[in-house]
Structure 1
């Protein structure tokens, strides 16, 4: 018998542990260099968002986004700048994050 009184909870998109570790590694290096100071994470129905701020301001400096519905198209990961321009898009988050920290080497 179905539960009539309970509404179905919508699924949300989130970064998994490995993805978050890669993002936080880049973020930690940039904080150590004094370039970034704050971040915010949003887990929505169709995408997960990691926003990076240089200081406490209204607009993020960069946005790292995971959109699973784009997985079979151009890639589910994107990095966008403050003006909304996509700097990098792809299927591998480690490669996409290199746009934020170019001297970082990718290790497989």
Structure 2
């Protein structure tokens, strides 16, 4: 995209402008300033579904999202001034190995890792217990 208006059919370009620019995809990926890793809309929908349920249960109260060059992190807090209780991470470098998604607790222990976010988020599902009266 450029700042200049679109040309009408047959209208010549100004001098000094090139008409064809080819960018090698491998060079673009290895650029010094690659774009940060981000959560896609569907991923955020899945995360916020779990987040909303846990807020309703009084377990969580705050969150933070961080996008870096290596990973995207959704951190969950009980109180805003504390260390995050959990981090939901997306690391594309691990896609072909253990899976891009993981849930890490406050101690840094990976609770669950996988290729699909929905499966990884099941770590937050409550297990029903049998109560005898």
TM-score, with length taken from structure 1: 0.85
Q: Which has the higher strand share?
A: 1
Distance 1:50 1:63 in 2: 6
Distance 2:44 2:81 in 1: 23
Q: Give runs of ≥4 in structure 1 deviating > 2 Å.
A: none
| Bigger RCO of structures 1 and 2 (CA < 8 A, at least 6 apart) | 1
Distance 2:115 2:126 in 1: 18
- The residue aligned with 2:72 is 48
- 1:63 counterpart = 2:81: no
Distance 1:100 1:21 in 2: 15
Superposed CA offset, 1:17-73 (max 9, x none):
110000000000000111100000000001000000011233100000000010000
What is the aligned-residue RMSD (CA, Å)?
A: 1.9
Matches for 1:17-36 after TM superposition, within 5 Å = 17-36=41-60
Report SS of the residue matched to 1:99: helix
Distance 2:80 2:37 in 1: 26
* Correspondence for 1:87 among 100, 111, 117: 111
Report SS of the residue matched to 2:87: strand
Distance 1:9 1:79 in 2: 27
- 1:74 counterpart = 2:80: no
- Any unmatched runs of 5+ in structure 1? 2-7, 104-108
